[in-house]
Structure 1
Amino acid sequence: MIDRRSLLTAGGASLALAALGLPADALAAGGLTLSPPRPFSFERLVALAKSLGAKPYVADTSLPASVLERIDYDAHGKIKFNTDNALFKDGPGQFPVTFFHLGRYFQTPVHMYVLESAGGDGFAREIVYDASYFAMPEDSPARQLKDGAGFAGFRLQESRLGDQKKLPWQTNDWAAFLGASYFRAIGELYQYGLSARGIALDAALPDRAEEFPTFTRFYFEPPASDSSNSMTIYALLEGPSITGAYKFVLQRDKAVLMDIDARLFLRRDVGRFGLTPLTSMYWYSETVKPTGIDWRPEVHDSDGLAMWNGAGERIWRPLNNPTQTRASAFTDTNPRGFGLLQRDRGFDHYQDGVYYEKRPSLWVEPLGNWGEGSVQLIEIPTDDEIHDNILACWVPKAPATAGSSYNLKYRLHWSAEEPFPSPLARTVATRIGRGGQPGQPRPQGVRKFMVEFIGKPLESLPFGVKPELVLTASRGKFSYIFAEAVPNGVPGHWRAQFDFTAEGTEPVDMRLYLKNGEQTLSETWLYQFQPF
């Protein structure tokens, strides 16, 4: 229990804060209540995670579930953090921090701490929850939560030093951490979309339920100066099978960059140990769209998985909305990167005011060698856009067993395009229709594929030269194979066309790239085709 007589407030503790080295205005945020200081460093946090990992998991049941259940979607939407109480609203640094309230869908209390100074070593004070930080109706069930209950998550607001007419910080944020180990950021097109996660455990396994560990503590490091465009945040991860300590260095630039240092400790065996997980939504695109499913031409946050493997090959795998959950593994050693991308940027392809054409792409850049493993793609059926049904992650080859520990460093790029573009032509569309020739009876079981590529190598082809298709499939037969320039006048825009006759009803893995003689012209297109 918290002894409120021992608490410090931001408004009344200037001398005490100054004695610890923290500028008095760093926490002058309209009355945030702070606990007494406790020693902190990242190595202390790692040691805490390691010690917790050696003990059985104990879920936090300190909050009344009956109250949280009553804070449903509507009630939660009426609870707004008062930005006058934002952490760092007067500095140091550019980016104030605001907080999410607990509720029916966010029941695990997350405790927030502020460090005394830049550098990560020193003291931390908990920001003690108080209902007065939020604007809420008088009859809101949230008023029944006691002081110190905790929060659900937080936002990093846009710069308080920027143009407040164009981008007021009080109503615009650029990164958010909310729910289990989920977090997300806007890209350079100022739009949220897909999410990242701290960890993914046992996703889509037939004999195990997926586990969703939670970031239960966050520690905010004051920026060294107002000119800094970065924020450093530490987090503790807890779950039945794992504990972990994370260091996030988030940089707000044209794109959002996140350098992540994760130290993980397994409490028990894990079947699918998903590191650096990315979570997105794919309902349908121009590839396969059932008749009359929706009025919009396409609906997705991401349209493909891009990979740059350890051998240097560039790969594009269009996403599917399968009829049943499917997992694909792309074996690799020391990958150079992978990501879920939104390549289709045309508004006319979506016709929606929620800006699917502006959703960010998210690229994982390994920092150091990851060894042997696989990029794994999980695709789950969905019949609406409200469900995240796509997961991409790195899974080490070695089994993830109880007592194992992992040190992992990587960088996330939240941007419009992949950060390390290939010099090869890239895939921009995959289209499927009935096979056969126009004006002739359409043969049963034959599908026509049109795969579009665009890029400098195709633009540079001599007049009259057509690229050659290099096609393979796990089974089935190809016919009517050729390439042609897309008749839209765009230089370097070609499409590969072929008919495919499947054998059986199981999914077929296809592979395609374009070449001219010994010269590779395009990235490799991979596709998992479900005969229908």
Structure 2
Amino acid sequence: MSLSRRSFLTMLGAAAIAGPASALPVFKSEAVPFSVDWFKSEAKRLAAETYAPMAEVPESWKNLSYDQYKALVFDTGKALWSDTDRAFQMDFFHPGLYFPRPIEINIVEGDSARTLGFDLSLFTRFEQFPAELVDGADDRALGYSGLRLRHELTKPGKFEEFMVFQGASYFRAIGTGQNYGLSARGLALNTADADGEEFPEFTRFWVETPTDDATTIIVHALLDSPSTTGAYSFYITPGLPAEVRVEATLYPRTELDHVGIAPLTSMFLFDQTNRSRFDDFRDAVHDSEGLLVWNGAGEMLWRPLANPAELQVSSFVDENPRGFGLMQRARHGEDFADLEAFYHNRPSLWIMPKEGWGKGAVTLVEIPSDKEIYDNIVAYWRPREPMAAGSEHSFNYDMRWGGEPEDKRSVSRVLNSRIGKGYDKKTAYVIMAIDFADHEVFNGNLDDITRFISANRGTVSEGVLQRNPGTGGVRLAFRFTPGDVGSAELRVQLVKDGKSLTEVWLYRWTA
């Protein structure tokens, strides 16, 4: 049986099976002092040493089949803190298959921490596992491959999952009532570069024990890779949206020229911009449909995502960005006509930098894909200046996993983008139709609104602006004639009395 990374992560996000009894944690170390200052100094110390990856689990665990891995499910009745009145509970993922290198998980109580040992009895049906694996479960090389956080989200006594850390520096969260969709990472290095990408890993975690009435749980994660180390602190508050404050400090081992800060990873297969390429009964398939940027100049930029024929990278040059993120704006089941994937219920993720991030670019990487099981979209902030070996760099930001950001400029947002031929399929042009949401800025005569439509290649028409009874907002439609060019950058904006009324619509058209 074949298994993609995407379907594998979907399986991991499903609710675990609850068991009848709780279990005390197994620690394999005595308590040692812990503080955030020590944590950062540990990352700095490690950066001065030669990179050494975490040890791998025994071969018998690495060679687990998909069915074996899936059969071993964490028993949530034995979750950490399940036998207490703590406000949060924590589950664990076992290693093997795609996760050959276990992580270290430490539990912080006060100003000290102890390291958890691997406990196979925390998983259901472990007795049915191959005997050699059960007998070797006390091997000190074993460990967990990730962790899952749960909280009483909808009613007392019911602990529901809202965030998972597993694999490299990947993590993902959901707002209350949502389904898992896009992911985030601690750091991206050399994404889409010809020499290949480097994937730093969260190798060691310190989770602070929450109080009985806590609404926030704190997780510290040590990042390590051949090129850098990093100290990451996550202050996580579940809800709708789920809010995560990130404090990250990097300690490069080598010069870092292509760094991705606050990287997001998602999937976009098709929607009304490229529907004709896919023979599919559904109207759209994507975890995210657009990149939203609130730049340092105060503009709101909307870039519909694309599934290009060839790899493409777009850079939105900026200084001190106010926010960026990958949005899922289609929120009705019939927007997708998919009764299983629930794409309409996937979270958007909004990044809000703290302090000034300086000069750089919000970078969008779009990778060709023919299946929805593959993540093919990456977005991140790329600082303009390289980071020297031996230096120290801090990046703090807030994350909102849920819906639209609430603190952006009050302009009409893009509801949908449609691209294709009109009734005459033989024409040399394509029609671009952009639907903007209902907004008070459209009160009055639409003829008083100035339409800015431009393309760096090819030609565009003046466009027609009219009210859309289906959305309650307005639609701007125009013709784009590419001629013999292979690609073109398009820009649309509606303005009145020198004031922008809408998000700035940007799109890279490709032949």
Q: Would you call these one fold, judging by a TM-score over 0.5?
A: yes
Any conservation in 2 of the 1:110–1:216 contact (CA below 8 Å)? Answer: yes
- Secondary structure at the counterpart of residue 158 of structure 1: strand
Q: How does 1:25-424 map to 2 (within 5 A)?
A: 30-34=23-27, 35-64=29-58, 66-91=59-84, 93-117=86-110, 122-135=111-124, 136=126, 138-140=128-130, 142-143=133-134, 144-148=136-140, 149-159=142-152, 162-164=155-157, 168-169=158-159, 172-206=160-194, 208-223=195-210, 225-352=211-338, 353-424=340-411
Cα gap change, 1:522 to 1:457, in 2 (>3 Å): farther
Cα gap change, 1:130 to 1:343, in 2 (>3 Å): same
Cα gap change, 1:527 to 1:48, in 2 (>3 Å): same
Any conservation in 2 of the 1:187–1:361 contact (CA below 8 Å)? Answer: no
Q: How many Å separate the matches in 1 of 2:469 and 2:263?
A: 39
Cα gap change, 1:441 to 1:82, in 2 (>3 Å): closer
1:459 to partner: Cα distance = 3.6
Letter in 1 for 2:452: V
Q: How many Å separate the matches in 1 of 2:328 and 2:151?
A: 24
- Secondary structure at the counterpart of residue 217 of structure 2: strand
Match of 1:525 among 501, 505, 508: 505
Name the structure 2 match of 1:7: none
Which whole-Å deviations, capped at 9, do the CAs of 1:413-441 have from their partners, x for residues lacking one?
01122232431111111111115xx5x67
Any conservation in 1 of the 2:446–2:465 contact (CA below 8 Å)? Answer: no
Letter in 2 for 1:383: D
- Secondary structure at the counterpart of residue 88 of structure 2: coil
- Secondary structure at the counterpart of residue 190 of structure 1: coil
Any conservation in 2 of the 1:214–1:237 contact (CA below 8 Å)? Answer: yes
Q: How many Å separate the matches in 2 of 1:359 and 1:332?
A: 28
Name the structure 2 match of 1:429: 416
Range with greater deviation from structure 2 (41-50 or 314-323): 41-50
Letter in 2 for 1:46: K
- Secondary structure at the counterpart of residue 310 of structure 1: coil
- Structure 1: gaps spanning 5 or more residues: 1-27
Q: How many Å separate the matches in 1 of 2:301 and 2:491?
A: 10
Match of 2:433 among 432, 445, 450: 450
Letter in 1 for 2:24: G
Q: How many Å separate the matches in 1 of 2:253 and 2:173?
A: 30
Range with greater deviation from structure 2 (497-506 or 255-264): 497-506
Which whole-Å deviations, capped at 9, do the CAs of 1:16-35 have from their partners, x for residues lacking one?
xxxxxxxxxxxx95132112
Q: How many Å separate the matches in 2 of 1:106 and 1:127?
A: 18
Letter in 2 for 1:181: S
Letter in 1 for 2:192: A
Q: CA RMSD in A?
A: 2.0
Name the structure 1 match of 2:15: none
1:502 and 2:463 matched: no
1:525 to partner: Cα distance = 0.4
Any conservation in 2 of the 1:278–1:392 contact (CA below 8 Å)? Answer: yes
Q: Given the two structures, how large is their TM-score scaled by the length of structure 1?
A: 0.87
Which whole-Å deviations, capped at 9, do the CAs of 1:304-348 have from their partners, x for residues lacking one?
000101110011000000111111111111110000000111210
Letter in 2 for 1:443: T
Range with greater deviation from structure 2 (286-295 or 370-379): 286-295
Cα gap change, 1:454 to 1:160, in 2 (>3 Å): closer
Any conservation in 2 of the 1:131–1:147 contact (CA below 8 Å)? Answer: no
- Percent sequence identity is 36
Name the structure 2 match of 1:14: none
Any conservation in 2 of the 1:89–1:160 contact (CA below 8 Å)? Answer: no
1:504 to partner: Cα distance = 3.5
- Structure 2: gaps spanning 5 or more residues: 1-20
- Secondary structure at the counterpart of residue 250 of structure 2: strand
Q: How many Å separate the matches in 1 of 2:152 and 2:498?
A: 51
1:252 to partner: Cα distance = 1.4
Any conservation in 1 of the 2:57–2:96 contact (CA below 8 Å)? Answer: no
Any conservation in 2 of the 1:279–1:391 contact (CA below 8 Å)? Answer: yes
1:480 to partner: Cα distance = 5.5
